[in-house]
Amino acid sequence: MTTSPSFTWTSDDEPVRSFPSGAAYVEALENTALCFRGTDLAGAEVRVDALGRPRAISGNFASVFSLTVADGTRYAVKCFTREVREQEARYRAVGEHLAGLDDDWTVGFDYVGQGILVAGTWYPVLRMEWVEAVSLIRWIEQNTDDPAALSDAAARFASLTAELAAAGVGHGDLQHGNILITADGSMKLVDYDGVYVPALAGLPAAESGHRNYQSPDRTASDFGPEVDRFSSWVVYLSLVALAADPALWRQLRDEDAEHLILAESDFADPAASFRLATLTGHPDARLRGLAERFQEILLHHRAAPPPLEPLGPLDAVRPVKAPVPVNAALPSWMVERVQPHMPAPPPLVRFSRRAPALAVLTWALLVALPFGVPAAIFVDEVIAAVDVSAVLAWTAFTLSGYRRQPERLPARAARAERKRLLRARLAAAARAARLEKQARRIAEAAEKSKAEQDYQRHILQQAHNQRLGAHHRAVREQLDRIDRERQASAAWMHLEEQRLLVMRQKEHVRAQLAKFRVGNAVIDGVGPGLIANLEAVGIRTAADFVGVRYDMHQGPERVAVFVRGDGRGVRVIGISEVKAGRIDQWRERLTAQAAIDQPMSLTPVAQRWLKDRSTAEKIRLDAEYKQVLAEAETAIRPLQEALRAEQAALAEEMKAANTATAQIRVDHDRAVAEAAVVLERAQQAAADGGAQADAFRPVTYRRYLRFILTGKN
């Protein structure tokens, strides 16, 4: 059974510990072998940004880094940029409570008091389980056009808030960045800095949460299991609204905005909120009712909102399809220039003037013409000539009448305009096609430039890694040398201990042998005369010599030489080889007897001397080891500064190139948009011109002749 941790709160004016900045953590993480020395994160691979520097996800008072250790395990390491009183105790209480839950939203974490070394000082970190997921805003952007997925997300979020309430837990900062959605659609909550659990009852909140998700009336005293009620309404209402009408995502928020459908300004002044008015006036009845309920909370219960009141099964929520404007794909600055154009087709234009005399003449000519033709063939060429003249005159009269018709000139103008508009449409289409090809070339150039920039960054990082590697190898060599000296020192101490022990044992044996005089020994064949000869050369006791050697002399016999303790040899008159051997055997027997009770350990004085010598050597080597590490950390800064200077120079160069490319793209996009407008206008104008020209289909010379004869168009 676990007990609740105790807390000691200090006064507000007590100075707190200064923590490193996010930039300082980035600099430290460029060498994880040093900053995580002695921990299982030492040597971990840190995720880097486009410039090759450790990539930080900065929050309210912390920076989070992604690290992968040698076995492939990935962690999110949170480095704090300011001190939170009783932080470790808070995390311990939260961890103990969450460990007893079986909810999918939890993420494992460890609070490490001595977690990261920055500028020679250790600071705490929070090591969290890495979650493969995306934040709520990014997930919405990926699923904006999937109302079913949005409905499921709203239902899952309602279930999550119910699980929190049932567990007596308040997250304290429910917002898009702390709500992650995995590939299978499950929701995870991260950032437990402000979490409430029952063990923390009666304490103030460590943070106030994201302003676009919290009540304007929230204070530090609002810290309990109900702390998430307001933000739950905000998130749930947004998800339901998007499920009902995905177009609200682009309609009610700016790109890259730090909120969902509603924001802080809507909470502070709901009566003047355009976003809230859009939701409360929405055609979807369920969305409208939910929005009205939240509006009531803002007006009357903002400080103490009720628990979330989710709708029934969200399968009933049906998206309201808003009409897509014709110019939805155009830039906002050009939308007003193109208006939907769907005119009704104009009525057909017909002839309005008919000359009766010309009609009589035409009928007469038609009647007479059959008689004139045979006459021209068989009877009289004069009659035929008269008929031909009549036809020509009739043709001239009818053509003149056709030209005088008021409909002819407008028809001619409409047909000419149709040709012109068709040519303009073809020209606009050709220009749009050219711009499309140019867009591909610009995109290819941008990709090539990006690849070149990536290559230059890679070359810079590679050169830095080589310099860093050489530096690390030099440091490693020094550390290895110190380790070898440590091993050699330990070996020397052991040998010195053995040597001193042997010396003490020899001194013991020598002292014992010195007690036995040669004159008192009973050695066969060694009488008083030989004893006197031995004493004459300094051999009075068994300790005065250490052995006997035998040198060859003239003749077949060997000469016995007694070896003194200092290595000198002496000969004794009258001592033969055999007698010398007997004397040596006497010494060896005494030596064996003395060795039985020889000391097996050093004297306390010798032991203390060895210990002091070992301690001094250890202190010296430890100090040298720390000095090497300190110098290594100091020496690495110029390398990092050189890399940053090179990266900054490259970034400036890239910025200039990218700015020029961006300007080209902006100009080209504007040209494309204008070309699209021109093409759309040309197509519409061509269609209008065609419709206008088609209205003059009856206005032709042949139709005019029929009109003369019959009076019908």
Alpha-carbon distance of 141 to 521, in angstroms, equals: 110
Residue 33 has pLDDT above 60, yes or no: yes
Mean pLDDT score of the chain: 83
Q: Is residue 340 part of a domain?
A: no
Closest CA to 267 of 302, 308, 237: 302
112-129: per-residue pLDDT in tens?
Answer: 988 999 988 899 999 999
Structural domain count of the chain: 4
* CATH code of residue 241: 1.10.510.10
User: Beta-carbon neighbour count of residue 529 at 10 Å?
Assistant: 10
Same domain, 57 and 186: no
pLDDT at 2: 34
Structure-model confidence comparison of residues 541 and 663, the more confident one: 541
Same domain, 310 and 290: yes
Give the pLDDT band of residue 698 (cuts 50, 70, 90): confident
> Please, are residues 28 and 46 in contact by the beta-carbon 8 Å criterion?
no
Burial class (CB in 10 A: 0-12, 13-18, 19+), 642: middle
Last residue of a domain, one of 130, 165, 185: 130
DSSP state of 127: E
Same domain, 99 and 147: no
* CATH code of residue 27: 3.30.200
Residue 40 has pLDDT above 90, yes or no: no
Q: Is residue 156 part of a domain?
A: yes
Three-state secondary structure string covering 585-603: HHHHHHHHHHHHCCCCCCC
Q: In this predicted structure, which of 47-61, 299-313, 339-353, 461-475 has the lowest mean pLDDT?
A: 339-353
Closest CA to 48 of 617, 462, 475: 462
Alpha-carbon distance of 273 to 280, in angstroms, equals: 11
- Token duo for residue 82: 């300011």
Alpha-carbon distance of 194 to 620, in angstroms, equals: 47
pLDDT at 604: 93
The H-assigned helical ranges of 323-407 are 332-335, 356-374, 381-403
Same domain, 396 and 501: no
Same domain, 125 and 251: no
Same domain, 71 and 43: yes
Q: Is residue 566 part of a domain?
A: yes
Give the pLDDT band of residue 366 (cuts 50, 70, 90): low
Residue 240 has pLDDT above 90, yes or no: yes
User: Beta-carbon neighbour count of residue 33 at 10 Å?
Assistant: 14
Question: What pTM was estimated for this model as a whole?
Answer: 0.47
Same domain, 614 and 675: yes
- Strands 179-182 and 569-570, by their bridges, are unpaired
pLDDT at 9: 37
Q: Is residue 276 part of a domain?
A: yes
pLDDT at 295: 92
Same domain, 476 and 393: no
Give the DSSP H/E element, type plus range, for residue 135: strand 133-135
What is the C-alpha radius of gyration for the chain, rounded to an integer number of angstroms?
53
What is the mean predicted confidence (pLDDT) over 242-252? 88
Q: Is residue 440 part of a domain?
A: no
Same domain, 559 and 580: yes
Last residue of a domain, one of 96, 130, 164: 130
Same domain, 457 and 553: yes
Residue 635 belongs to domain spanning: 450-695
Structure-model confidence comparison of residues 669 and 218, the more confident one: 218
- Token duo for residue 97: 């409570």
Q: Is residue 433 part of a domain?
A: no
Name the E strands within 60-207.
62-68, 74-80, 109-118, 121-129, 133-135, 179-182, 187-189
Same domain, 590 and 634: yes
Closest CA to 121 of 44, 25, 55, 16: 25
Give the DSSP H/E element, type plus range, for residue 341: none
CA distance readout (Å), 687 to 25, 206, 329, 422: 65, 67, 22, 9
pLDDT at 211: 92
pLDDT at 11: 37
Q: In this predicted structure, which of 34-38, 399-403, 451-455, 514-518 has the lowest mean pLDDT?
A: 399-403
Residue 609 has pLDDT above 90, yes or no: yes
Same domain, 390 and 310: no
Query: Residue 696 — φ and ψ, nearest 5°?
Result: -100, 20
